[in-house]
A and B are shown apart, each in its own frame.
Chain A
Amino acid sequence: MKNWVIRQLVPALLRLMAFQFNHRASLRKSLKSDQGWINFTIGFRTEDRAFQGGLSFLDGKVTAESFMLESPDTTMVFANEAVMLEMISHTPNEVLDMLMLNKIKLEGNFTYLNLFNFYLSTLLGGFHQRMEIKRRRRHKLQRKEVAKTENGPGEKSRTTTPERLHAPTIDPGVRYLKNPYLSDLGLTDFPRLQGFLSRHFSKRPEICPERSRLLTRWYKKNGFETDGQGNPWSPELRQGQAYKYLMENKEPIIRKDDLLAGTTTSKPVGVTIYPDAHGTMIWGELLSAPNRELNPYNISSETVEVLHKEVFPFWINRNFREWVRRRYDNPLCQKLDERFAVYFVWKTVGISHTIPDFPSLLALGTSGIIEKIHQAIVKANGDVTRVNPLRAMILAAEGLNAYADNLSKQATKDAQNELDTERQAQLRRLAEICRRVPKNPPRTLDEAVNAIWITWIGMHNENTNTGLSLGRLDTWLQPYFEQDMAACKTEKARDACIRKTVELVGCLFLACCDHVPLIPDIGNYLFGGSSSDQAITLGGVHADGTDAVCDMTYIFLKVTEMLGIRDPNVNARYKPGVSSDAYLQRLCEVNKITGATPSLHNDEAVLASISQHGYPLGEARDWSAIGCVEPTIPGKQFGHTGSMLISVVAAIEMALGNGTHPLMNWKVGPETGEEFDSFEEFVKAFEGQFSFLIDQAVAYNNMLANAHAAIRPTPLLSAMMDDCVEKAKDVVNGGARYNSSGVALIGLADVTDSLMAIKTLVFDQKKTTLREFQEAIQDNFQSHPKLLSLVKNKAPKFGSGNAEAKEMAERVARFAHEQLNAHRNYRGGPYTTGFWSMSNHVAFGTLAGALPSGRLRGKAFTPGLTPQPGASVNLLDNLRDVASLDPKNMDNNMAFNVKVVPGGADSHQQIVDRMAAYVKAYFSMGGMQMQMNMVSSETLRQAMADPDSYKQLLVRISGYNAYFTTLNRDMQIELIERSEYGI
C-alpha cells in the first residue's frame, strides 16, 4: 500500500517541480547558461522498475514524465520505494550520502546529478537551509566518528608547557645557530605570524571562481577539442596557451603584512575549483555550502552566478570521469569506483602528487629554463609532436613570469598607498623581488623563498591542489641562508638575520594555508578535514651519504613548533648512525609540543625499500615525502603516489560471499568458492578477490590517465620535472625520468586479524565454522555473542607480539606487493605498495560490514597499518611487530600511529627522552615510519567513552600490576585528574 502511495507521490513532486521551473521567472533563469539552455534529461526508477519516471529540461521547458525516458543523460536508481521516500525527506546533500551507502545508484553522467541538486536547492530555497540544520543534529554521532580521524595534528592537542629544551650538541651541517633548538624564540616574538595564525583559524574558506572563470572564458573563445579553424588542438599547446592567459589575468594580490607576494586564489582562504577534475561536484551545494556542518564554505552570490552560468555547463562532459565514461562506455572498473565501497581512484580529482625540481628553478630561474627549452625546440627539428609540448612549457613559464611582473607592479602601487614607512619599505622590496624572480636565479633568501612561493601559486593554478609537495626546502634554501648570514658583520646583525629567516619561513607556511582543496559534502566522509597535504621533508642525508641536517632544518622545526598547523605537512628523515641524537630529541620535542608533527621516517628502511626500483644511490638519497608519507625522487619522479586507495577488507568480504560484495549487493568479483576445506583454500579465495580489485583499479587508473592526457596536460610542471624537456613530453605522457603510480592499501590490521580469526578458530581449533562466521556477520554478531567474544579474546592479533599474526600481515603485504609490482602504469612504470590511509579508513569502514576479526559493521578500520587498539596492552608489542615488517613490500611507505599521553609527573625532558627512546629503538629494529599523536588530558576525559582505544594506557604506579582500562570509570577520571598516567 505504502509503495503505491510513493509511486503516486514522486511523479506528483516531479510535476510540481516542473511547474515551478516553468512558471517562476527567477527559477527559469537558472535553466540557462551563458551559452544557451542547459538541456538534459534525468530518469528515476526503482531497481525492479516498478517505478519509472523522469524530468526533461529542454530549451527552457521542464517536463515531468511518468515513464522511463529514452537514454536519459543520467538516471537515479533506487534500491526500492522506501529509499525513494527517504530521499524526498532528505536534503540534496544527503542524497549523495545515500549514493555512498549504495541505497541509490547512478547511471550516466554524474555531473547532471549535481546540476539537478542545484535546481532542487534553488527550488527549496530557505527550506533547504532548515533541512540542513535538522540533518546536522541527526548525524551528530556519525560526524564525531569522521572528525575523530587520526591523520595529522589535532587542533586542540597542543600542550601548554612553556619549557623548551636546549640543543646538547651542534650537528656538523649547522653553521650559525648557537642553540639550534632556538629555545629563546616564541610565537610572541613574531606578531606578524601571530596575526596570520589567528586569521587562519578564524577565516572560513570561500569558493573562488577566478581560475575556472578565466580558463573557461579562454576555452570558449579558442576552443577546447578543436581550435577556431576546426583543427584538433594539441592538448599540451592548448593548456599552455590557456594557462598563460590565466596567469596574465590573475589578480595580483599582496596579502596585508606578508613578506611574500601573491596568493593562490583571489580569496583570503580560497577553495580552488578545477572543473576539469571534480569541480562540478560542488554544483549541487553552491547554495548550501555555507550551512553544511563539516568544512562549510562561504560563497558570494556573484560566484554562484559565475559558476552556474559561465563555468560548470562547459565542463559537463569535459571532466576526467565523464571522458572515461564516454570513451570506454562506462566500464566495470569505473562502475566499481562509483559505488565507493571498494576503491577510490584519485585521477578523477588530479595527478598532483609530485615535487617539482626546485633546485633547478633556483639555479636557472624561469628564463634559464626557457632557454633550455628553446634549445630543445631547435633539436626537435620541426617534429610537431615534440615541438608542441615544448612550446607549451615555454608558454606556461611565460605566464608565470607575467604574473610575477603584475605582482611587482601591484607591490609598487601598494607601496605608494602605504602610510607606514616600515611596510612601505617591505612593499618596495617585494616589488624589487618580483622583478627579479622567478625569472632570474635568486641571490638572497627572501628572493629564493618568493621564487618558490610564486612558482607554487603557478603550480596550483595549473593543477589540482592534491598532494603537490615542496620537497627538501631546508637543504635547498640553506645556501641562501648562509649567504645572508655571511653578509652580516656583527653578532647583532646575525641574530636579526636569524629572526628574519624564521619569520620568512613562517610566512611561507601560512601562505600555504591560503587555499584548501574542494571537498563536496560526500567527501567529508572520505577525506574529513583534509588539507592540500603539501609535504615538506627535512633532514636526511646528502647524495654522498653525509648528514644533511643544517641550520634551516632547525629553523623549519622551530616554525613547525610555533605554528602547530597541519599543512604544510612536515616530514623528517632520520638516518640511524648518521643523524644526531640532538636532532632526534628535537623532533620528539616538536612532536610533543604540536601534538602530532613532524612525521618520522627511518632513512635506512625507506632506502632499502625504494632501492628495488634501481634508482642510482645518490638520487635515492634525495628522496622526499609526498602528500602524507610517500617517497619519491624530487624533481625526477612523477610518482602519483596516491593514485588509488583500495580497501583490502573488501576482498575478505567478497571472499566470504563468493564474489558478492555485501553492501553493494553485487556479485561483481570472481567466483572463488563457497566451501573451503582448508585455510589455504580460503586464502586463495581472498587473494583471488584482492587481485581482481587491484586489476580493476589499475584499469581505471590507466583509463583516467588517458583522460588527463586529453584534457589536462600540465606544461608548467613538466617544465620543472627532469627529462620532460629532453624527451619533449608532458609529465602525463611519461616525460619524467622516473615514472610510477603509488597505491594505498587500507585495512591491513583488520584483514590480518580476520584471517587469523578464521585460521585459528575455524581450521586450527575447530571451535566454529565459516558458516557460523558468515551468519554472525550478517546480523552484526548480535546473535553470536560467544563467537564475538572468542574472536576478540582468543584469536591472535597483529600487533600483539604474536609471531603467527605478524607473519600473516607480512604475507598479505607480500602478496599485495607482488601483484602491484607486476602491473605497469600507462607511463611504463610500476605500481608501488603503501599502507597508509589518509582518512579513508573511516570511509571504507563505514561502508563495510562486520568482520571475522570482531570488528562491527560500519566501524572505522585502523589508520594505515596501525594495529587494533586492543591488540595488546603493551605498546612495545605494536612497535616490534610493525618494525619487523619487510620494507621491500612497502615501497609507497606506511603510516603507523602511536598514541602517547604525557603524564603530569614527568618533566618535559623526561617525556621527550622517552619518546626519543621509543623512536630510536623502533628504528633500530627496522621500523620505517612512525607518527606520534599526543593526546591531551582533556580529550582523554572525553575518550573515556571509548576504552577500547586506550587499552595501552598505563597506570603509573610503581610495582602495581594493572592497566588503566581495567579500573572503573570514576577511578579513571580520578587518575586523570591526578595526571598519574603516562606515555
Chain B
Amino acid sequence: MSRQATLIFEIKGNALDDGPGIRSVVFFKGCPLSCAWCHNPEGQNRQAEIIFDGEKCIGCDSCIEVCKQQALSRNLIGFLDRGKCDLCGDCLEQCPSGALAKCGMSLSVNEVCSRVEKDIPFYTASGGGVTLSGGEPAMYPEFAGEVAAKLRQRHVHVLLETAGFFDSAAFDRFLYPHLDAIYFDIKIMDPARHKELCGVDNKRILENFRNLFRRSKEGGVCVLPRVPLIPGMTATQENLEDIANLLKEVGADQVALLPYHPFWMGKLARLGRSGLPAMGGENLARLMTPDELAECRSPFGNMRIVGT
C-alpha cells in the first residue's frame, strides 16, 4: 500500500495548555474534518504546503528569480499561485527572511522522539509530558502509536488531542495502548449541522467517544471531553444542552470548554486561502465576553468545568 509520508507541521516546546505540566506538542498534518472555524488551518491538508508571511518579506525578489514555474508574483493576491507551484523548494532555499516557509516536515519516529526527549527533565520536574495534536494524530495510528510507545518507555506521559473521527480498530491496535490520557473534542451534536460545518457526519465520532469513555470508567485511559466554543456554531444553547445531555448519559463529571479566539484568521491568508466563513459574522472577529462565556457554562450545571 502506497503510504504518503506522515508530516509534522510543528513541534512546540514549553506548552502549558495542552495537558498537565510543561509539555511538548507534536502537531500532525492532515485531518479528516474541515471545520469552518479551524484554528490550525495549516493542519487540515495532509500535504506539505508553502506559507507566505507578507510581514516578514523584505522585498528582495530572490524567490521570484529562481521559480521555474513562475508561480510567484507581486501582482498575485497572496503572492504565490499554488496551482502552478510544484513544491520544488528552490524559493525556500533563497528566501533570507523566512517569509516563504514550508509547512510540513517529514520526520521519522526516531526524529520526533529525539526532539521531544530533550525536554524530559522539564516533564519530570513539572509532571508534564508530550501531547499529540494537529491536525488529527489518529489519522496516523501506527506512526503516532510508535512515537507514543517509544516515549512511554522513557517514562514520558503521552496525551492525545483528537476530534474523534478515526477507525477504532486501528486506533485500538496501534495507538490506544500507549496513551496516558485523551482529550476528546465534541463539537456539534446534530448530524446534519455537523456535516455542514465540519465536513463529515458525527456518528463515528460519537461512537468512538461513548466507547472510549465507557472504557475509561472501567480503568482504561482517562478521557476528558472538550468543547470548542464557536459563536453561532457550537456555542448555541441547543447544541450545548445536547452535549451536556450526552455527558450526563455517559457519566462524565467534568468538561473542558475552550473559549473562542479569532487569531486563526491571519493563518488563512498565509496559506493563500481567502474568504472568511460566511456565517458567524462579527462575532467571529473578537474574543468572547465574560457574559457569553457564562452563558456557555450554564447548560453544564454542576459539572466541573475547566478552561474558562
A104 to chain B, nearest CB (A): 38
Give a binary string over B193-217; 1 marks a CB under 8 Å from any A CB, 0 the rest.
0000000000000000000000000
- For the complex, give the distance between the alpha carbons of A916 and B122 in Å: 10
Mark out the residues of chain A between 791 and 820 whose CB falls within 8 Å of any chain B CB in the assembled complex: 792-794, 801
Q: Is the interface of A mostly helix, strand, loop or mixed?
A: helix
Is there a chain B Cβ closer than 8 Å to A880's Cβ?
Answer: yes
- Cβ of B40 and Cβ of A960 under 8 Å apart? yes
| Most-contacted residue by chain A among B15, B60, B262 (CB, 10 A) | B15
Closest-CB distance, A859 to chain B (whole angstroms): 19
Task: Give Cα distance in the complex from A921 to B42, angstroms.
Answer: 33
Contact assessment for A874 and B96 in the assembled complex, using a CB-CB cutoff below 8 Å: no
- Is B10 interfacial (CB-CB < 8 Å)? yes
| A983 close to B12 (CB less than 8 A) | no
**A960 and B12 alpha carbons, distance in the complex (Å):** 10
Chain B residue nearest to A977 (CB atoms) is: B287
Contact yes or no, B261 A957, CB < 8 A: yes
- A797 → chain B, closest Cβ, in Å? 13
CB distance from B1 to the nearest CB of A (A): 30
| Shortest CB distance A981–B (Å) | 10
Q: How many A-B residue pairs have CB under 8 A?
A: 111
Contacts of B237 in A (CB 8 A): none
Instruction: Please report the total number of A residues contacting B with Cβ < 8 Å.
Output: 43
The reply to whether the CB of A982 lies closer than 8 angstroms to some CB of chain B is yes
Stretch at the interface among B16-24, B66-74, B149-157, B165-173: B16-24
Out of B9, B17, B97, B122, name the residue touching A793 (CB < 8 Å).
B97
Residues in A whose Cβ lies below 8 Å from that of B245: none
Q: B133 an interface residue at 8 Å Cβ cutoff? A: yes
Given A954-B16, A957-B261, A960-B39, A876-B119 contact (CB < 8 Å): yes
Asked whether A921 lies within 8 Å of B96 as measured between CB atoms, the reply is no
Give Cα A793 to B266, complex, Å: 21
Bound complex: CA of A195 vs CA of B96, how far in Å?
58
CA of A879 to CA of B43, assembled, Å: 29
**Contact partner, A918, options B9, B17, B43, B122, Cβ 8 Å:** B122
Q: What does the 1/0 interface line of A957-972 toward B look like (CB < 8 Å)?
A: 1111110001110010
Q: Which residues of B contact A921 (CB under 8 A)?
A: 121-122, 124-126
Task: Give min CB distance, A281 to chain B, whole Å.
Answer: 46
Q: Is A967 within 8 A of B263, CB to CB?
A: yes
Contact for A967 among B15, B25, B266, CB less than 8 A: B266
Q: Indicate whether A133 reaches chain B with its CB closer than 8 angstroms.
A: no
Q: State whether B125 touches A958 (Cβ < 8 A).
A: no
Q: Which residues of B contact A790 (CB under 8 A)?
A: 96
Quick check: is A956 within 8 A (CB to CB) of the other chain? Answer: yes
Q: Shortest beta-carbon distance, A796 to chain B, in Å? A: 14
Query: In the complex, what distance in Å separates the CA atom of A960 from the CA atom of B264?
Result: 9
CB of B178 to closest CB in A, whole Å: 20
Q: Are B263 and A971 in contact (CB under 8 A)?
A: yes
CA distance A918 to B12 in the complex (A): 17
- B115-130, CB under 8 A of A: which get 1 and which 0? 0001101101110100
What distance in Å separates the Cβ of A151 from its nearest Cβ neighbour in chain B? 25
Q: Mark A917-945, 1 if CB is under 8 A from B, else 0.
A: 11011101100000000000000000000
With A876-B119, A918-B122 as contacts: A959 and B16 at CB distance below 8 Å = no
A404 to B168, CA, bound (A): 84
The answer to the question of B307 belonging to the interface, with a C-beta cut-off of 8 Å to chain A, is: yes
Contact B96–A957 (Cβ < 8 Å):
no
Is B13 a contact of A876 with CB atoms below 8 Å? Answer: yes
- A880 near B96 with CB under 8 A, answer no
A916–B125 alpha-carbon span in the complex (Å): 8
Does A142 reach chain B (CB closer than 8 Å)? Answer: no
B258 CB within 8 Å of chain A: yes
Complexed CA–CA distance, A889 and B9 (Å): 38
Are the C-beta atoms of B266 and A925 separated by less than 8 Å? no
A224 to B199, CA, bound (A): 93
Contacting residues, chain B, for A914 (C-beta < 8 A): 16, 22, 126
The answer for the CA separation of A875 and B118 in the assembled complex, in Å, is 13
Give Cα A978 to B25, complex, Å.
24
* A786 and B119 contact, Cβ closer than 8 Å, known pairs A955-B263, A959-B39, A961-B12: no
Q: Chain B contacts of A880 at CB under 8 A?
A: 118-119
Tell me the chain B residues, 235-283 only, with Cβ under 8 Å from chain A.
256, 258, 261-264, 266-267
Distance in angstroms between the alpha carbons of A750 and B15 in the assembled complex: 28
* Shortest Cβ distance from A971 into B: residue: B263
From the candidates B18, B119, B121, name the one contacting A959 in the complex (CB within 8 A): B18
A789 close to chain B: CB less than 8 A: yes
Whether A785 pairs with B122 at a CB distance below 8 angstroms is: no
Nearest-Cβ distance from residue A764 to partner chain B, whole angstroms:
14
Q: Given the complex of chains A and B, what is the CA–CA distance between A876 and B14 in angstroms?
A: 6
| Docked CA distance A966–B264 (Å) | 11
Q: In the complex the two chains form, what is the Cα distance from A674 to B250 in whole Å?
A: 76
The CA of A205 and the CA of B121, in the complex, are separated in Å by 47
Residues from chain B with a CB closer than 8 A to the CB of A793 are 96-98
Interface contact B14-A954, CB-CB below 8 Å: yes
B122 touches A968 (CB 8 A): no
Task: Tell me the nearest residue of chain A to B270, going by C-beta.
Answer: A966
A874–B58 touching, CB < 8 Å: no
Residues in B whose Cβ lies below 8 Å from that of A337: none
Q: Say whether A974 faces chain B, with CB atoms less than 8 Å apart.
A: yes
Question: Which residues on the A side are within 8 Å of B58 (C-beta)?
Answer: 785-786, 789
- CA gap between A85 and B119 in the complex, in Å: 59
Q: How far is the CB of B287 from chain A (nearest CB, A)?
A: 6
CA distance A790 to B18 in the complex (A): 33
Shortest Cβ gap from B135 to chain A (Å): 10
**What is the CA–CA distance of A790 and B58 in the complex, to the nearest angstrom?**
11
A913 contacts B by Cβ under 8 Å? yes
Q: Does A248 contact B (CB under 8 A)?
A: no
Bound-state CA distance A794–B95 (Å) is 9
Q: Which residue of A lies closest to B57 (CB)?
A: A789
Segment 276-308 of B: residues with Cβ below 8 Å from A = 286-287, 307
Using A959-B133, A962-B263 as known contacts, say yes or no to A925 and B16 having CB atoms under 8 A apart: no
Distance of A917 Cα from B125 Cα, bound (Å)? 5
Cβ of A877 under 8 Å from chain B: yes
Measured between C-beta atoms, what is the minimum distance from A658 to chain B in Å?
Answer: 28
The 8 closest A-B pairs by CB, nearest first: A917-B126, A789-B96, A921-B121, A958-B17, A874-B13, A790-B96, A917-B125, A789-B97
10 contacting pairs across A/B (C-beta < 8 A): A876-B13, A917-B22, A924-B125, A954-B16, A958-B18, A960-B264, A961-B9, A961-B40, A971-B263, A974-B287
Q: Enumerate chain B interface residues (CB-CB to A < 8 A).
A: 9-10, 12-18, 21-22, 25, 27, 39-40, 42-43, 58, 60, 62, 96-98, 118-119, 121-122, 124-126, 128, 133, 161, 256, 258, 261-264, 266-267, 286-287, 307
15 more contacts with CB within 8 A, not counting A920-B125, A959-B18, A974-B286, are A789-B60, A874-B13, A875-B13, A877-B13, A879-B122, A914-B22, A917-B125, A921-B124, A957-B39, A958-B18, A959-B40, A960-B40, A960-B263, A961-B12, A967-B266
Chain A positions near chain B (C-beta within 8 angstroms): 785-787, 789-790, 792-794, 801, 874-877, 879-880, 913-914, 916-918, 920-922, 924-925, 952, 954-962, 966-968, 971, 974, 978, 982-983
